[in-house]
Structure 1
Amino acid sequence: MLQKSASVFIRGAVRCFHTSCLNMGAKEYRDPRFFTLYQHAKSRLLDDQRKSGVLSHKMEVKGVRLHFEMTGDGDHYVLMIPGALGSTRTDYTHQMRTFNKHDFTLVAVDPRGYGQSIPPVRDWPLEFLQRDADDVMELIRKLGIEKVSILGWSDGGVVGMIAAAQHPDIIHKLVIWGANAYITKKDMEVFHGIKDIKNWSERMRSPFLSLYGEKYFRAQWSNWVDAYQNYFDKRNGDICIAEVEKIRAKTLIVHGMKDPLVPLEHPDFLHQNIKGSKLYIMPEGKHNVHQKYPREFNFLVEHFLKQ
């Protein structure tokens, strides 16, 4: 667990994208010379500037080095988990820039094999989403965060539900969108329809190709569809149905009515089975409501988290 000085360091993080910072291990992370340099810089910044900074770092978690980014100066920690093959920078740019950083400290993570958490190359065990949940919660433990709320998009929403079910004493609130607890035959037909990225629009492909290159992304996206097929074949489509019923955290479910990947059936199921949950529908929203309508999304989520 980080010492008190490290916690102060994280919460007021300045932007740090230098190679020496990105490659620091756990011991170097506590390097007093680095803290001295940071404190000197922090003393010269205005409050708003300090809160706008982003710390980019890697930490050893369950045998892999997970990349994460932190920003904000608030007491309420918020963990942001990306969707399939997503990363802090492809999925949460709007939140990292414009979310309320006075009341919240944001922690965005790249799951193993995604974004800058490579190596390792992503592999796909049957319960890969359960493994992602174990990883992110171990990161939270290592950061010394005792209470955290979760924002999870798509696969990240599934990971968030699993984490909330398994760690009710740690997860304060849960916000999910584009997520589902099970997979249907019709869902699989949609996924197989987008398995080959040549069928994607250039706008949809471009961020992933920039991040991974075509070879890695093409192979891993195909693997992702196969991994969901395994949930369908080997678990009868059950991703996390039992976990959903165990969630006790106050939960907000957001859904874009024009979502081509996740039909209304799924948020309706979650709303019915997560006790006390709220469902907010965005009539013109698609799968990426937080990116298409960031002002409305951020306002909605900030209000929910403050209640």
Structure 2
Amino acid sequence: MASMKHVHLFRRYLSIVFTLFQRLISCFFDFPILIKIADSFLSLYFLVFCDLRPVTVDLDDGETTVHFWISGHRRISRQNLVMLHGYGGNSKWQFVHQVSDLSKSFNLFIPDLVFFGKSYSKNRDRSVEIQARSVVGGLKKLGCVEGGGGISIYSISYGGFVAYKMAEIWPAMVEKLVIVSSGVGFTQQQKTAELKKHGGDCSKILVPKTPMDLRLLIKISMNTGLTFVDWVPDFVLSQFIAVMYEKNRQELLELAKNLLEREEEPELPVISQKTLIVWGDKDKVFPLEHAYRLQRHLQSSRLEIIKETGHAVNIEAPTTLNNFITSFVLSA
């Protein structure tokens, strides 16, 4: 009897252990702990190795909060460089391969655009212009644009639309502009044609909901470099989606819809700033032909093409891109 009692007791304890283990594993997989840890390490990297500091500013409109990473020790001798990200996560994840080098040459101001990362607004406007005004409002709060000038902007993809609008509205503030892989000036017909190539659903392309959607976004954006994504477990990709997209999913979809479905102006305004255009020759999002068209539109521009590189130049060729940005912005 005693032995049977011990057996039942052992089974009971074993059942409790298995239940606790199962719940622990379930929590580990359901809660985005892996991406949260990775995001924390990225913050530590920005702080320790890149001398960047997180700052959150409330704008005067009483509706908008913009989160920045800025140089911890700004130097008067260095030029101010604003870095504007695209879709695909927050500014940390998109610029992690670039900030270390660029922080050695510039005073950096790196905002999360509204509804990305820690930036948010109660404003119902989803236009590119409201993004531009939010960035400029934040820069003014940080004292970056005191005196009415002195900034250069490096922008990629969606950030390029925002940067172009900033250069258009505040020409005295923006001295130089770097546009990388951005469909500025795309007509409605061109947008529709490009979307059809990838299934036509912007929600699946720009705001992924499933691991399959995220894999599609990566494959469209990359030419080489992230082929291992097929081997990444679904639960890891699901955690990335949960951290980067779920909180403001509806707002991100509305931003994408505004960008892709709104009618462009009859003719793209010509900005006066010196502009560097950088493109990957294998870009599947905005084909290379558009880079040539944008260069012809802007007389004060030059085009650099990076071979065997896709849309995400910042990830596939960060060193080459950094060299282009540094030499262009610091040139007389």
Distance in 2 between residues matched to 1:65 and 1:240, nearest whole Å: 33
Identify which of 228, 231, 255 aligns with 2:259: 228
Answer yes or no: is the 8 Å Cα contact 1:113–1:122 preserved in 2.
Answer: no
Q: Distance in 1 between the 2:179 and 2:239 partners?
A: 22
Instruction: Find out whether 1:200 has 2:214 as its counterpart.
Output: yes
Mapped to 1, the partners of 2:64 and 2:202 lie a distance apart of 30
Match of 2:170 in 1: 167
Shift of 1:195: 3.2
Task: Give, as a single letter, the amino acid of the residue that structure 1 aligns with 2:172.
Answer: D
- Residue 243 (structure 2) aligned to one of 211, 214, 217: 211
In structure 2, the residue matched to 1:56 is 54
* Contact 1:84–1:154 (8 Å) recurs in 2: yes
Contact persistence 2:86–2:159 (CA under 8 A): yes
Q: Which residue, 138, 154, 158 being the options, matches 1:155?
A: 158
Q: 1:242: which partner in 2?
A: 268
- Following the alignment from structure 2 to structure 1, what is the Cα–Cα distance between the partners of residues 260 and 48? 45
1:138 corresponds to: 137
Given residue 273 of structure 1, which amino acid in structure 2 is its aligned partner? H
Mapped to 2, the partners of 1:76 and 1:207 lie a distance apart of: 37
Alpha-carbon distance in structure 1 between the residues aligned to 2:265 and 2:92:
26
Deviation (angstroms), 1:239: 6.2
Q: CA deviation at 1:253?
A: 0.2
Distance 2:54 2:68 in 1: 6
SS of 2:82 mapped into structure 1: strand
Name 2:193's counterpart in structure 1.
186
Matched, 1:108 2:110: yes
Q: 1:34 aligns to what?
A: none
Higher RCO (C-alpha 8 Å, min separation 6): 2
Which residue is equivalent to 2:119?
A: 117
- 1:83 aligns with 86
Q: What is the deviation of 1:263?
A: 0.8
Structure 1 counterpart of 2:119, one-letter code: S
In structure 2, the partner of 1:305 is 329
Alpha-carbon contact 1:84-1:224 (below 8 Å) kept: no
Which residue of 1 is the match for residue 319 of structure 2?
A: 295
Q: Corresponding residue for 1:36?
A: none
Judge conservation of contact 1:190–1:261 (CA < 8 Å) in 2.
Answer: no
Question: What CA distance in whole angstroms lies between the structure 2 residues aligned with 1:68 and 1:240?
Answer: 34
**Mapped partners of 1:85, 1:153: distance in 2:** 11
Q: Distance in 2 between matches of 1:114 and 1:299?
A: 27
Q: How many residues align?
A: 250
Shift of 1:211: 2.9
Conserved? CA contact 1:80–1:152, under 8 Å:
yes
- TM superposition shift of 1:84: 2.3
CA distance in 2, matches of 1:65, 1:135: 8
Residue pair 1:182, 1:241 contacting (<8 A) in 2 also: no
Distance 1:121 1:270 in 2: 34
- CA distance in structure 2 between the partners assigned to 1:54 and 1:139 by the alignment: 16
Deviations 1:239-259 (A, max 9, x none): 69433x1x1111100000111
Q: Which residue of 1 aligns with 2:23?
A: none
One-letter identity of the residue aligned with 1:281? I
Q: Which residue of 2 aligns with 1:69?
A: 69
User: Amino acid of the residue matched to residue 301 of structure 1?
Assistant: I
TM-score w.r.t. length of structure 1: 0.72
Contact 1:59 1:65 in 2 (8 A): yes
Deviations 1:89-125 (A, max 9, x none): 1211122222252x3111100111111114x479563
Q: 1:254 aligns with which of 261, 268, 278?
A: 278
Name stretches of at least 5 consecutive residues in structure 1 with no aligned partner.
1-16, 23-48
How far apart are the structure 2 equivalents of 1:188 and 1:216?
A: 25
- Decide which moves more: 89-98 or 295-304: 89-98
Identical aligned residues as a percent = 22
TM-score (norm 2): 0.67
